[in-house]
Amino acid sequence: MVKVRTKDVIEKFELELISGEEGINRPISTSDISRPGIEMAGYFEYYPAERIQLLGKTELSFLKQLNHFDRVSRLERLCTDITPGIIITREMDIAQELVEACEREAVPLMRSKQKTTRFSSLLTNFLESKLAPTTAVHGVLVDIYGVGVLITGKSGVGKSETALELVKRGHRLVADDCVEIRQEDEGVLIGNSPDLIEHLLEIRGLGIINVMTLFGAGAIRSNKRITLVINLELWDKTKQYDRLGLDEEKMKIIDSEITKLTVPVRPGRNLAVIIEVAAMNYRLKKMGMDAAKQFNARLHDVIEEGDQEEE
């Protein structure tokens, strides 16, 4: 499925379309951008035709120095049937040969007001966000004290009810039931809600509720980086649960590994408070304050003192 097309770039950055309008639906398959300076000099051996071509002051000034024959031939080779578009920055004047070449090959020729380096950075960030690897996870995503907590578990375990309690306690809902996740960088997972169920919570026996309508705009957010996964599961008497917190479990999502905690569910446990404290404790660990390790060190010291007294 095509994630982004040339027309999306035009709309996002309000670009002026000069020629090649027939090609605005061309797909963009990579976030890499090309500044074809060496191609302007006549070397097309490794020309990355599938990238958006960005022409700034340097490329256009060199183009003016070429004779008419070289200029036409090189601009024609610049415009291929897979080139998603050519963008001129700084609102600079465009050579008529380039306008005609883009029109013949249906390559969108666009112009931006921004400086080349600044525009290149913005465009790269936009394309990386749109073209990032994606997946969907069954769960609830909540922003708790700035920590993106993904709550998972089997259907009916109480994920949505826990999220509702967290929202009542002042935290923000990102997504319920289905969380769309994209990996924008190594170890960076961003979660958001599908448009169809954005701001909605499903509570069994109550139905669908709109969190923003009930609790206000401060109770929701559109996306959040996921840094902690909490898996809710029904209490299993035969299973040994972690009581100290020294062992850190990981969950792999796409190519990133995220810290995972397993919280057993049984009557009388306040899951919202437990998850809230888990998020705060995670923040403390990232700041270098690990209560479990501190306790383990103190316990080790006590045992050593006891051994010395016996000697």
Residue 191, strand partner residues = 181, 224
Cβ–Cβ under 8 Å, residues 193 and 199 = yes
Residue 243 falls in the annotated catalytic set: yes
Among 43, 109, 113, smallest CA distance to 74 is for 43
Measured in residues, the chain has a length of 311
Distance CA 26, CA 109 (A): 12
Express the helix, strand and coil content of the chain in percent, nearest 5 each: 40, 30, 35
Q: Which residues pair with 210 in a beta bridge?
A: 200
Q: Name the active-site residue from 8, 70, 177, 290.
A: 177
The residue whose two tokens read 């670009």 is 15
Cβ atoms 169, 121 nearer than 8 A = no
Asked whether residue 160 is marked as a ligand-binding residue, the answer is yes
Consult the annotation and say whether 158 binds a ligand.
Answer: yes
Catalytic annotation, pick one of 26, 111, 159, 182: 159
Active-site residue, 159 included? yes
Question: Does the annotation flag 31 for ligand binding?
Answer: no
Q: Are 6 and 127 in contact (CB under 8 A)?
A: no
Determine if residue 159 is labeled as part of a ligand binding site. yes
Annotated catalytic residue: which of 57, 115, 138, 298? 138
Annotated binding residue 156:
yes
Residue 298 annotated to the active site: no
Residue 153 marked as a ligand binder: yes
Token reading at 302? 């006590």
Q: What is the DSSP string of 236-293?
A: -TTS---SS--S-EEEEETTEEEEEEEEEE-TT--HHHHHHHHHHHHHHHHTT--HHH
CB 290 within 8 A of CB 183: no
Residue 168 bears catalytic tag: no
Contact by Cβ (8 Å): 284, 146 = no
Work out the angle at residue 283's Cα, subtended by the Cα atoms of residues 278 and 284, and round it to the nearest 5 degrees: 95
CA triple 174-177-182, angle to 5 deg: 60
Q: Which one, of 54, 28, 50, lies nearest residue 121 by Cα?
A: 54
**Bridge partner list, 16:** 111
Write out the binding residues. Answer: 153-160, 202
Residues assigned a catalytic role: 138, 159, 177, 243
Write out the binding residues for Mg(2+). Answer: 160, 202
Write out the binding residues for ATP. Answer: 153-160
